[in-house]
Chains A and B, each alone.
Chain A
Amino acid sequence: MKKKSLLLMLTLLLVLSAFLAACSSGDSADEPADTDTEPTEENTGDEGGDAEGDTGEAQTGGTLTYGIDAPPEGLFNWAFYGIQTDAYILELMDEGLIQYDENLEPQPNLASWETEDNKTYTFTFEQGVMWHDGVELTVHDWVFALETIADPDYDGPRYANVQTIEGAPAYNAGEADSISGLNVIDDYTIEVTFDEARINNLVNVWSYPMSRAQFEGIPVAEMSASEQVRTKPVGLGPFKVDSITPGEAVIMTKFEDYWKGEPNLDGINVQVIDNTTTVGALGNGDIDMIALQPVNGPEVEELENVEIVTYPGLSYYYVGFKLGTFNAETNEIVEDKEKYADVNLRKAMAHAIDRQSWIDAFFFGYGSPVNGPVPSNHWIAADPEELPTYEYDPEKAKELLAEAGYEDVNGDGFVEDPNGEEFVAKFSHYATGNPTFETRAQAIVQFWQEVGINAELEMAEVNLYYDMIEKDDPSIETFFGGWGTGADPDPTALWGSDQLWNYPRYKNEESDQLLADALDLEVVGDDRDARKDIYVEWQKMIAEDVPMIFIAELEEIMALNERVQNVEYDVSGSNSPHEWSIAQ
């Protein structure tokens, strides 16, 4: 009996250690804050692309196997989905009123719009667009979506995209039966009034209809668990969901009545595969298409039957400096941390890092150094020549350090601060199961040590890490992070001095003013160039102030089997999947 109780203890111990072991895994945290833009990723449907250089007409028929490297959560509705994996599937089966072109400019898709004053918009829907269940799309489906999201029982994260509509807050509080800003004129025309005139009302508003017929009689609180979302989703896109094997696969067939024309493919099988098997599965031709992690890139490049397509992403990595603290009560930032207050110190630390070789080593070249807080493919991005850049220059870094008064007084090879005290720069990086994180963080620490800054690395478990950054934990001094930008270029949520997610706690009234001006109709009006000029001005200021060292922007990498044709990507995502085809 003794042996048995020992074994029992061992088992319990194993359960416990499974907890601990599992805490440290999860490679999904690898991605910088998600690279997706707004969910709309369709390119203009009628562009008729033949970028692959094949002979004219696309072949029809065939089933494409699309790989995803994590199981979907199963929330197959734009209003409820939360993760990228679900979005991959949604992009094949549903679409929105607006789409974005290669400059991330909104273009009409299911609806076109007109506005005089940027406050009231009139949307005109396409006629004859069918849901997969054969019901025609009308403006009521969009009203239904907006009211669902504004409903007090709604449990998804999209309310921010609806609350700017006049009357939505009242509806959300349960004070109104409908949203007063929505004025249905007929089945295909609707007038939407926002609470104020804003330049980004259109790109911000929720633009995905929800099938009113399908969700009839389902209370909003139960929608996310309903089969209309989970197992039998109905959309407007080129492919309809045939069957779902939870956690494994989604089988889709073409929707013959798709409004832009019958899709070329007969169907798409979306299959979940583990990262470890990606390369082999591509080589065998078992999957035709998959988004790759940079680490798999070099191996896939060697495969003869697979082509790699890269397109610019909208995310960037940075090393931030904690300059102050955020007061959650008053939503105010105070720049009260002295350690990195000297801009020359920050610049020296920026010059010390060899970004290109860092990217080559850890992202296998699928990325490039970025010089400001906007990924270079966004239309508001400043020309690199206009921005102060911090090239790898150890000598310059040492000079700047000396200028700022950081000198090696006691001869230990590392600089002391201007008061002669030991100076140790602490660098924090998040840890997951991914073993490269520690090495890539260590590399940055070494860059600093090479110019004479004594630096120390601290790895923190990823959830704890962001918690510490958000709460301005004193142990966080310099930190690694990533952000993504959406189609709406407004960076206020990440840079405003009243924002929780302004992680460096950077406070600059001029910056706040520029960000406000760029949205102010009285300052920029409808003039896109005027708006861009303000953003360029702002980027210059940020780059000059170095509240963070901008490290890299990554590319999105798609692997395509050679038989896959008519698939194109730009910064807004792929072309419409109904154009995709397979060479027979």
Chain B
Amino acid sequence: MLKYTIRRIIGMIPMLLLISLVVFLLAKAMPGDSLSGEIDPNNTDPQYIEEMRERLGYNDPIPVQYFRWVSGFLQGDFGTSTRYKVPVADLVLERLPNTIFLGVTSLVITYILAFAMGIYAGRKPYTVGDNLIGGLNYLGLAIPSFIAAVFAIYFFSFNLGWIPYSGSVDPTLQPGTFDYWLSRIHHVLMPAIVLGALATASYTQFLRNDIIENSRKDFVRTARAKGTPTSKIYNVHIMRNSIIPLVTFLGFDIATLISGAIITETIFTYPGIGQLFLDSVTNRDYPTLMVITMMLSALTLVGNLIADILYGVVDPRIRLD
């Protein structure tokens, strides 16, 4: 397994290089740069714009710019955000805790809901309860998250006043206190639910279908025949087999955890990586944009690796060599 892991990690290097090339070229292919777009004639002048382009190296040939970026990247210099004028690393680190907090909360919500609903629906398929859950899930899949977010804000924040609709914390509280953490949880709840709704739906349906399928397999019939209690059949025999497809999702969840939800974060003005990413695209903040994209790509690859390794753990029949 160790050999396999190392081989996979080495295999990632050319992949990442290729991704970096694509990311860079795509970023450069976007029209304009951080200094173009709508101009406020009172706040800038053409000489300054020209000077800054020169200073930022936008006038150099593309290969020169690429190698400058990659070599900086390899040496741990992720560049300076053209918009915020601070090192991108600082910017990302500042947002990362918020996003991870949101991602983890949403994952926890997803898992709890998905397992509860999936197992129930799988054990009692084609009943009213199952159909109800199925209906709910398809509704969740069908409603885009930005619609769900706006409606959630409208009902739960404005009409009922239960939850805050913006920010990650009440800014007047002292960081580190109990109230502070309570406020953070309070703030993260709604975006996490909205974010988790979509994932919950697909998790539940996968789990339900797998349980139904597995419950018709021969080994289940054998287990029933020899008198194994139903709960044990479901919780041990079927469960273990049904989790395998979910492990695939887990790999992607790791990237999702960081990428957060671009739209959800923006609507809830939750300052995380997703919001930063969107912001960097609209403002042509190349250094930030490229770092985040690279980070997400790397995490997707790592997530896959973890998923592959977990296959082996969950299902001993799968050999990794």
* A interface list, Cβ under 8 A from B: 3-4, 7-8, 11-12, 15-16, 18-19, 22-23, 25-26, 28-29, 31-34, 36-38, 71, 73-75, 80, 82, 155, 157, 159-160, 224-225, 230, 243, 245-251, 269, 271-274, 276-277, 280-281, 283-284, 461-464, 466-467, 482-486, 493-494, 499-501
Contacts and interface: CB of A to CB of B under 8 A. Distances in A.
Given A271-B167, A466-B37, A19 B42 contact: no
Interface stretch (B107-115, B223-231, B277-285): B277-285
A19 B275 CA distance: 13
A335 B271 CA distance: 49
B38 A274 contact: no
A15 B292 CA distance: 11
Contacts of B267: 274, 276-277
B31 interface: yes
Contact of B166 (A23, A246, A271, A500): A271
21 contacts: A4-B251, A7-B248, A15-B293, A19-B30, A22-B262, A25-B282, A32-B38, A71-B271, A71-B275, A159-B48, A246-B271, A248-B167, A248-B171, A248-B269, A272-B166, A273-B269, A277-B153, A277-B166, A283-B158, A485-B42, A499-B46
Given A34-B38, A269-B172, A11 B307 contact: no
A489 to B, nearest CB: 11
Nearest to A486: B42
Contacts of B53: none
Contacts of B236: none
Instruction: Please list the 10 inter-chain residue pairs (A to B) with the smallest Cβ-Cβ separation, ordered nearest first.
Output: A463-B32, A247-B271, A464-B31, A26-B282, A34-B40, A249-B171, A22-B281, A486-B42, A280-B158, A224-B85
B171 to A, nearest CB: 4
A19 B271 contact: no
B214 interface: no
Contacts of A32: 38
Given A22-B281, A157-B48, A280 B157 contact: yes
> What secondary structure prevails in chain A residues at the interface with B?
mixed
Contacts of A485: 42
Contacts of A494: 41
Contacts of A155: 52, 55, 85
Nearest to A14: B259
Interface string B22-58: 0000100011110011111111111110001001000
B26 A16 contact: yes
Contacts of A500: 46
Interface of B: 26, 30-33, 36-48, 52, 55, 80, 83-87, 94-95, 150, 153-154, 157-158, 161, 165-169, 171-172, 248, 251-252, 255, 262, 266-269, 271, 275, 277-279, 281-284, 293, 296-297, 300, 304, 307
A461 B284 CA distance: 13
A11 B45 contact: no
B35 to A, nearest CB: 10
Given A251-B172, A463-B36, A466-B39, A28 B282 contact: yes
Nearest to B29: A19
Contacts of B85: 73, 75, 80, 155, 224-225
Given A36-B43, A500-B46, A466 B86 contact: no
A7 to B, nearest CB: 7
A251 B170 CA distance: 10
Contacts of B46: 499-501
Contacts, number: 183
Given A22-B262, A28-B282, A466 B255 contact: no
Contact of A29 (B38, B266, B293): B38
Given A274-B166, A280-B165, A71 B36 contact: no
Given A15-B296, A71-B271, A82-B43, A272 B37 contact: no
Given A18-B262, A271-B167, A23 B281 contact: yes
B165 A461 contact: no
Contact of A15 (B38, B47, B275, B297): B297
B281 A462 contact: no
Contacts of A33: 38-41
Contacts of B39: 33, 466, 501
Contact of B32 (A74, A467, A484): A467
Contacts of B172: 251, 269
Most B CB within 10 A of own CB, among A249, A461, A482: A249
Given A33-B40, A463-B284, A276 B153 contact: yes
Nearest to B247: A4
A272 B36 CA distance: 25
Contact of A245 (B52, B80, B169): B169
B169 A484 contact: no
Contacts of B26: 16, 19
B42 A36 contact: yes
Contacts of B80: 225
B222 to A, nearest CB: 28
Contacts of A74: 84, 86
A122 to B, nearest CB: 27
Nearest to B271: A247
Nearest to A225: B86
B148 to A, nearest CB: 12
A284 B158 contact: yes
A82 B168 CA distance: 25
Most A CB within 10 A of own CB, among B42, B83, B153, B255: B42
B171 A8 contact: no
A116 B161 CA distance: 63
Given A23-B281, A486-B42, 12 more contacts: A4-B251, A4-B307, A8-B300, A22-B278, A22-B282, A33-B38, A159-B48, A160-B45, A273-B165, A277-B166, A463-B31, A493-B45
Contacts of B167: 245, 248-249, 271-272
Contact of B84 (A31, A73, A277): A73
